[in-house]
Structure 1
Amino acid sequence: MERSHQHQQLRKEEHDTLSKLKQMPVESLNLEAISIATNLYRSAQRLRVKMETEVLSTYNLSWTAFSILYDLWVWGALETRKIAELSGISTATASNVIKTLEKKSFCRKSIDTRDRRLVFVSITDSGKQAIEELYPEFHKGETELIAGMTKDEQKILTGLLRKVADNLHTT
């Protein structure tokens, strides 16, 4: 019941927002683009808050710290710039988050012996233990995200989100 009320409230907010924007002096306003961007943003923010509150708080990790730890777990040692790219953050932000993960003993840095400008980061045993404890709960949140969608709807949404990501990709 509460979920339905929240859903109706969001639709009303979306309708009210679009109505307000129609009054703005903007030529060729694409209301669908606004609606899609707004819904993507709200969904992403809700997912992030849910995961940080319900799952990642166990280890006092931010979404970004978890993302980096996850990438190290999946891919092994990575260069700092690659970590930043995978996480969609600047190298400066990646470096700061890596420092935090290092303080927790979840990762370690090493300098490339051939090119001392390159810094590689690898997950530690403590980091593996943390991610392996967190990931099952994190994955529950991922599955809750798609609850009520058919497999076909999930595939369609995945394809559409990939198109959105491709549109945002900068080189």
Structure 2
Amino acid sequence: MHATNLDGELLPEEKDTINRLTNIPLDSLNLDAVAVVTNIYRVAQGLKNKMEQEVLSEYGLSWTAFSMLYDMWIWESIETKKLAESAGVTKATVSNITKTLERKELCYRKGDSRDRRITYVALTEKGRQVMESLYPRFHKGEIEIVSGLSVDEQKRMSKYLRKVILENQF
């Protein structure tokens, strides 16, 4: 496993993982794969928790609710099926969160005039204002999270993560 701290040493959690996994009889234990996936997960969870606590809580939003509002803000109107795929949740979750966001007057649903099975969601004016107020604070958090990386390291990391995303169709 090659993930290390700033001094080039394995993180304590990684040492514990190696100790546990090397005692399990596996035909081909790939510690590098374990390190990458485990660290991506830890970063994702840390990012989610940090943003929910430091930014989104002020607006009464969960990570998933913010993700959905963000997609509506970017694409203006988005089909619920595509919204579920983008947010990585089920259509039922999209439906439940949309109901909450509608009660907060941040979005509304509209049916497709050609196909009644299709539903779109879009931001209200209040939802647009919330996103325009919220996003600069959210972006500041994004910048803080990667501030320990050079611009070149950020670009390389983005390139590698895009490759994982595309190869796995995430």
Taking structure 1 as the reference length, the TM-score comes to 0.90
Equivalent residue pairs, number: 165
- Structure 2: where are the runs of 5+ without partners? none
Amino acid at match of 1:78: I
Deviation at 1:15, TM superposition (A): 1.3
SS in 2 for 1:34: helix
User: Aligned-pair distance for 1:158?
Assistant: 0.3
**Offset of 1:167 from its aligned partner?**
3.0
State whether structure 2 residue 121 is matched by structure 1 residue 118.
no
SS in 1 for 2:121: strand
Deviates more, 1:16-25 or 1:67-76: 16-25
Measured after TM superposition, the shift of residue 18 of structure 1 is: 1.2
Report what 1:94 is aligned to: 94
Q: Percent identity?
A: 50
In terms of mean alpha carbon deviation, does 44-53 or 81-90 score higher?
81-90
Root-mean-square deviation over aligned CA pairs? 1.9
Task: Give how far 1:148 is off.
Answer: 2.2
Between the aligned partners of 1:134 and 1:69, the Cα distance in structure 2 is 11
CA distance in 1, matches of 2:95, 2:81: 9
Aligned to 1:147: 147
Give the structure 1 partner of residue 66 of structure 2.
66
| 1:8-40 alpha-carbon deviations (Å, 9 max, x no partner) | 998012112112111112220110110111101
The alpha-carbon deviation at position 63 of structure 1 amounts to: 0.4
Distance 1:9 1:62, change over 3 A: farther
Residues 16 and 151 of structure 1: CA distance in aligned 2, closer, same or farther (over 3 Å): same
Query: What's the offset of the Cα at 1:114?
Result: 1.2
Q: Name the structure 2 match of 1:84.
A: 84
Distance 1:30 1:96 in 2: 40
Misfit runs of 4+, over 3 Å? 7-10
- Return the TM-score normalized by structure 2: 0.91
One-letter identity of the residue aligned with 1:144: E
What letter corresponds to residue 83 of structure 2 in structure 1? I
